[in-house]
Structure 1
Amino acid sequence: MSDTLTTAVAALNEKLDGEGFDGTAKFVLEGDGSLMVDSSGARIADEDADVTLTAEPETFQQIFDGELNPTNAFMAGKLTIDGDMGAAMRLATLLG
């Protein structure tokens, strides 16, 4: 298990503040692995999801730290989204 994934799970769970997420989302940290977010919170896993977000670990770190808006990352081509755009928008609101 990579330290990057462990740190990302902790950051996501802090952002979610125990609320979980209405749906399933997979974050693919290129070169490091995947993590899932659902109604139970964030965890290291690689499963089917409503929406898959893929980016370099540094991009996700900036998003989790509040330094980069997820929408801006998508528009700049730093973040790719595959699947339910409605779920992606709900997730962006939680992360923003």
Structure 2
Amino acid sequence: MGVDVKKLFNEELPAALAKNADDAKTIGAKYQLNVTGEGAWNIDVSATGPACKAGEGEADCTITIAAEDFQKLIENPQANGMQLFFAGKLKVAGNQMLAMKLQKLFSYKA
């Protein structure tokens, strides 16, 4: 069974960010994650964060991905991230280098 995307963004990630607040702020960016079929979340890991909330907001890097591809990304971010990107299934707008820092973001545990 895969990851519950809504639970991940609405419960697990906010709790993990709160626990790792100082380290999370070192990422220094705002992300917009749009998971097709699941929803949209705005993640702030800049000096004003950390925060993760449903909806859309200001972002330095916007990522759009289908729910089934997001499952693959969470399972193995390093191997599947580039593969999905080059297949056109992981779309990145804004600062593409920030997309590389997402792996750190999802490595936090509550």
1:49 partnered with 2:77: no
1:22 to 24, 28, 35: 28
* Cα distance, 1:36 vs structure 2: 1.9
> Cα RMSD over matched residues?
2.7
The CA deviation at 1:42 is 3.1
Kept in 2: contact 1:36–1:45 (CA 8 A): yes
Q: Does 2:97 align with 1:86?
A: yes
Identity value in percent: 25
TM-score when normalising by structure 2 = 0.64
Q: Which runs of 5+ in 1 are unaligned?
A: none
Does the aligned pair in 1 maintain the 2:6–2:38 contact within 8 Å?
no
User: TM-score, length-normalised on structure 1?
Assistant: 0.72
Deviation at 1:46, TM superposition (A): 1.0
Contiguous gaps of at least 5 residues in structure 2: none
Q: 1:51 to 1:82 in 2, by over 3 A?
A: same
Q: CA deviation at 1:89?
A: 2.1
Number of residue pairs the alignment of both structures matches:
93
